[in-house]
Amino acid sequence: VPVDAATATGNAAVKGARALADRTIGGSMVAKSAAEKRAASMAKLGRKLAEDAAPGARVTAETAGGGVTGAVEDTIRGAAREQADAYGRVAAKGDPGVNIAAKKAALKPALDRLAKKKELTGQLMGDEGRAAVALDTLVHGPDVAPLSVVDAALGDIKSLARGAAMPELRTSGQGVAALAVREIEDAVQTTAKAAGVWDDLRAGRDATIQKWSAADTLKMLKDEPVGTFRALTQNGDAAVEKLRDVKKIAPGELPRVGRAYLEGLIDTATNEGGFGHEAKLWADWQRMGDETKRVLYPDPALRESLDKFFLIGKKMAENPNPSGSGYIAALSAQG
């Protein structure tokens, strides 16, 4: 990008001289040609930096947001298949029975708490509802239940026990559920290892965790692609946790989100012809949080190039307006 002397030096006198020279008959023709070259070079470089973020075909906010949602949904479907395959292998090996007769007394307090809450509120939602069904299945079911049934119920009870951000923040109901989990987990592991299906069971559990983790991430995204894109590129670092969650599941989609963001800025600069709105581009880039930039643009050299690109655009667009007849006369001679 051709940089004029005023921008390169940052000197106030040179800036004033440039402003005055640009307004003379001969200087205006030079200024017009320089401005056109600068605009074309900035647009070309901006597109190149955007492509450096994610090589390939151009990416829009809609395609980037849709790609993230689609990748998360694919992860959910893939994990569900792995889950079904793993538990299918457990069933094919006989699905051994787990003796939970001695465990029912430890499970009943958690069931009673949930039943009382349902009586008072009229319903149980989410993890509490699933845990209540699971506990009822175990407490009122046979003393020896199939391993797959017990493990599935255990997963729902674990969801309730994990409901707090920290163990210290658990409600009394969650604490009771956590105790119930410890009671059943021991019986499940003992049975699975004795039957030689522990590896299959663990694979099923891992797939289940992956599925529900991806489902939680999907809940944080918006229903339509552009909304998802905007949710992931909020000002500051407001969306950095969402980005990190997406990175765990669909890391390949984040560079496309980063590219779409840059393409949008360059579109703003070029949609009136030439290259403009440089101050806005710099401000928008500055508003993006540092952690968000590190996730979307992991290459530090690219981040540095983008910083310089938006800054030089802002500086070249600055238009000094010198005043005072003596000052103008002196600068005119210099110009």
Identify whether the C-beta of residue 195 lies closer than 8 Å to the C-beta of residue 96.
yes
Is residue 323 pLDDT above 60, yes or no? no
What's the pLDDT at 64?
96
Select from 100, 102, 135, 104 the least CA-distant residue to 117: 135
Q: How confident is the model at residue 52 (pLDDT cuts 50, 70, 90)?
A: very high
Q: CA 182, CA 280: separation in Å to the nearest integer?
A: 57
The beta-strand segments (E) located in the chain are 97-99, 144-146
What's the pLDDT at 168?
45
Identify whether the C-beta of residue 123 lies closer than 8 Å to the C-beta of residue 79.
no
What's the pLDDT at 321?
57
Q: What would the mean pLDDT of 90-112 be, rounded to a whole number?
A: 87
What's the pLDDT at 283?
95
pLDDT digits (tens, 9 = 90+) for 61-97: 999 999 999 999 999 999 999 999 998 998 898 889 9
For β-strands 97-99 and 144-146, DSSP reports them as antiparallel
pTM of the predicted protein model: 0.78
Q: What would the mean pLDDT of 50-64 be, rounded to a whole number?
A: 95
- Identify the residue with better confidence: 4 or 327: 4
Identify whether the C-beta of residue 295 lies closer than 8 Å to the C-beta of residue 232.
no
Q: CA 120, CA 142: separation in Å to the nearest integer?
A: 29
Please give the structure tokens belonging to residue 295: 């996730």
- Range with lowest mean pLDDT among 198-212, 281-295, 319-333: 319-333
Q: CA 102, CA 319: separation in Å to the nearest integer?
A: 82
Q: How confident is the model at residue 50 (pLDDT cuts 50, 70, 90)?
A: very high
Q: CA 209, CA 207: separation in Å to the nearest integer?
A: 5
